[in-house]
Homo-oligomer: A and B are copies of this chain.
Amino acid sequence: MAEFKAPLRDIHFVLDELLDYDGHYQQLEGMAETNQELRHAILKEAAKFAEQNLAPLRRSGDEEGCTWSEEGVSTPAGFKEAYQQYVEGGWAGLAMPEAFCGQALPSSLALTVAIINMQANHAWSMYPGLTAGCLDTLLAHGTEQQQQKYLPKLVSGEWSGTMCLTESQGGSDLSFLRTKAQDNGDGSYAITGTKIFISAGEHDLTENIVHVVLARLADAPAGTKGISLFIVPKFDVTEPSQCGKRNAVHCGSIEHKMGIHANSTCVMNFNEARGYLIGNPNEGLKCMFTFMNNARIGTAAQGLVGSELAYQGALNYALEREAGRSLTGTKSPERPADRLIVHPDVRRMLLTIKALNEGNRAFIHYVSQLSDLELHGNDQQKQEGGELLALLTPIAKGFMTEAGLEAANIGVQVFGGHGYIREWGMEQSIRDARISTLYEGTTGIQALDLLGRKVMGDGGKTLTQFITLIANDLAEMDDEFARPLGVKLQEWGDLTQTIGAAAMNNADEVGGASVDYLMYSGYVILAWMWGRMATLAKEKLTDNDDVFYLAKVSTAKFYFQKLLPRTESLKTTIETGAQSLMDISDEEFEQLAEIC
């Protein structure tokens, strides 16, 4: 595969030109200094760091994987050194408060840097990525004493963090949670239980690992209302930033996975480990949503890993590889065959990747602005931004990760048989991308969150506001795109009403339509992004003929003609309702399972 290059030009286009990040930061307290010049300087360094330190370890890390022993987990060769560089470069605390020696830059900028790191090395990027969730939780819900103890070294990156939610009995269903917390009477709790699928649960990159753990107090009510949140450090922390006694939390084994081999996925055993309550007893789920929403945006962004790597790989391959002749006549008479790029179907594949990749890039940085507003805006911005963010988070997570997986698959397809061979690096993109639609809530879970909670939950209020917001854009949008987008906006609202009416009689109509609805919503949002990008690019082209802008307009046309029409099938499948899904009874499925 071609060497990874951070797509800085396109990132700048989205941040500077499309989404006016300068104006955005100026309205946020303390963020005005993060202007274009500063952003470019930081992103240039971030690109250099990722290209030089992380990308070269992508393949080798996949081949070597992590190694478990009684003593702990070893990461692949080079991972520790790269992490050291990351800490020394001050990257860990980019968006953290200055009080803890962070740099207090906007979290949207930190996400932009994180995406570059993910694209360079998905597995590596998860080690600092998991720390972010732990940090956010402590910042939002930790006591001052807890913050003093843990935050400085988490912010510097010298310590890392995890989120320990899942147990073997139930993945998405936290009512199964069994891990116990027994009050020690000294302000600490004895945590006992086993967690599975703990990413970065154990490794050799940092001197301490701070686990954020869901557990039940002895007298807690049953179900999800009896869950509390605890800090359980690998080494107990008695003085601020000082590692004390080894705690009774150990990695029992690591999973053998399809991909992200270089990230340790751990079974974590807590055996009366010392833990410390975060927030109020039995309010763990509420606290958890703090980091879960952020984690979902981070995972949404992972959709850009599969698509960016597919784009860079497929574009270069299509320009180099020779096969067949163009059906409209030889294009390279000096070569024994024309290049792949002459073939319309190869271009269809390449443009599909490009349209999903760049559309989703615009989408994630838009969502990221909402996250800034929720964190740093004035009261009205906090509320409005927060509501819109809540609506868009499941769409971003579900749609972008599905799109990333599709793009990674197409990337392999462009390479033909070579795509299947490990040394080309393309098939790893599928294996790595495959996790993104599963963890942090599967696409099905996101879809239920979207349609059941976020849309039906407020009677369609936030959705209607969002549709109005897009509709207000149409007047300024090039008519070629505004017209079909306007039709889709109307249809989106109508479809929502159709489902709502059906759901009044049968709640299963929500579940039956949910994933199709989520994907439909994603395609409409990307049409909005592409309409805006093309309109902007056309304006720019009045001054110059930069191929970058030409390609934006062409790719927008492609998107509207070749990808947006997927909404037509989705509309039909939504309208046909849930009946055909529920026809076969559970008992009949049992009987079918016995037939062979």
| Contacts from A to B (Cβ < 8 Å) | 5-9, 166, 169-173, 175-176, 197, 255-259, 315-316, 318-319, 322-324, 326-328, 331, 336-337, 339, 341-351, 405, 409, 412-413, 416-423, 427, 430-431, 434-435, 437-439, 442-444, 447-448, 452, 506-512, 514-515, 547-548, 550-551, 554-555, 557-558, 561-562, 565-569, 572-573, 576, 578, 580-584, 586, 588-593, 595-596
Chain B nearest CB: distance from A412 CB in Å?
Answer: 7
The one of B173, B351, B409, B508 in contact with A344, judged by C-beta atoms closer than 8 angstroms, is: B508
The one of B323, B438, B444, B593 in contact with A419, judged by C-beta atoms closer than 8 angstroms, is: B438
B562 engages A423 (CB within 8 Å): no
Given contacts A173-B337, A348-B581, A558-B580, contact A421 B256 (CB under 8 A): yes
Note all chain B residues with C-beta closer than 8 A to A409.
405, 434
B345 engages A512 (CB within 8 Å): yes
Given contacts A316-B593, A442-B416, contact A170 B346 (CB under 8 A): no
Note all chain B residues with C-beta closer than 8 A to A405.
409
Residue ID in chain B nearest A565 by CB atoms: B572
A176 engages B336 (CB within 8 Å): yes
List 8 additional contacts besides A344-B512, A554-B584, A565-B568; criterion CB under 8 Å: A6-B596, A171-B418, A328-B507, A349-B444, A351-B581, A550-B588, A562-B573, A568-B572
Copies of the polypeptide in the assembly: 2
Chain B nearest CB: distance from A452 CB in Å?
Answer: 8
A589 engages B318 (CB within 8 Å): yes
A175 to B331 Cα, complex, angstroms: 16
Residue ID in chain B nearest A566 by CB atoms: B569
A173 engages B323 (CB within 8 Å): yes
A561 engages B573 (CB within 8 Å): yes
Residue ID in chain B nearest A196 by CB atoms: B417
Given contacts A170-B337, A558-B580, A569-B568, contact A511 B416 (CB under 8 A): no
A448 to B435 Cα, complex, angstroms: 33
A593 to B448 Cα, complex, angstroms: 39
A421 engages B170 (CB within 8 Å): no
A328 engages B506 (CB within 8 Å): yes
A328 engages B547 (CB within 8 Å): no
A324 to B444 Cα, complex, angstroms: 12
The one of B416, B418, B586 in contact with A342, judged by C-beta atoms closer than 8 angstroms, is: B586
A435 to B416 Cα, complex, angstroms: 9
A435 engages B420 (CB within 8 Å): yes
B344 engages A581 (CB within 8 Å): yes
A367 to B348 Cα, complex, angstroms: 29
A280 to B197 Cα, complex, angstroms: 61
10 smallest CB-CB distances across A and B, nearest first, come from A344-B511, A327-B507, A344-B512, A258-B427, A565-B572, A554-B583, A561-B576, A5-B596, A173-B323, A558-B580
A545 to B504 Cα, complex, angstroms: 32
Given contacts A327-B508, A416-B171, A584-B551, contact A344 B421 (CB under 8 A): no
> Can you spell out 26 A-B residue pairs with CB atoms less than 8 angstroms apart?
A169-B322, A173-B323, A173-B324, A173-B337, A175-B337, A256-B422, A259-B420, A316-B593, A319-B589, A327-B511, A343-B444, A345-B444, A345-B447, A345-B515, A412-B434, A412-B438, A413-B437, A427-B434, A547-B591, A550-B584, A558-B580, A558-B583, A561-B573, A561-B580, A565-B573, A568-B569
B170 engages A343 (CB within 8 Å): no
Given contacts A416-B172, A420-B435, A427-B258, contact A547 B592 (CB under 8 A): yes
Given contacts A172-B416, A422-B257, A427-B434, contact A569 B561 (CB under 8 A): no
- For A347, A419, A508, the residue with the greatest tally of chain B CB atoms inside 10 Å of its CB is A347
B586 engages A339 (CB within 8 Å): yes
B569 engages A175 (CB within 8 Å): no
Note all chain B residues with C-beta closer than 8 A to A346.
444
Note all chain B residues with C-beta closer than 8 A to A420.
257-259, 434-435, 438-439
- For A344, A507, A573, A583, the residue with the greatest tally of chain B CB atoms inside 10 Å of its CB is A344
Given contacts A347-B582, A422-B257, A561-B580, contact A595 B510 (CB under 8 A): no
Chain B nearest CB: distance from A533 CB in Å?
Answer: 15
A171 to B316 Cα, complex, angstroms: 17
Note all chain B residues with C-beta closer than 8 A to A438.
412-413, 416-417, 419-420
Note all chain B residues with C-beta closer than 8 A to A259.
420
A572 to B189 Cα, complex, angstroms: 61
Residue ID in chain B nearest A434 by CB atoms: B420
Note all chain B residues with C-beta closer than 8 A to A175.
336-337
A548 engages B427 (CB within 8 Å): no
A339 to B328 Cα, complex, angstroms: 56
B257 engages A421 (CB within 8 Å): yes
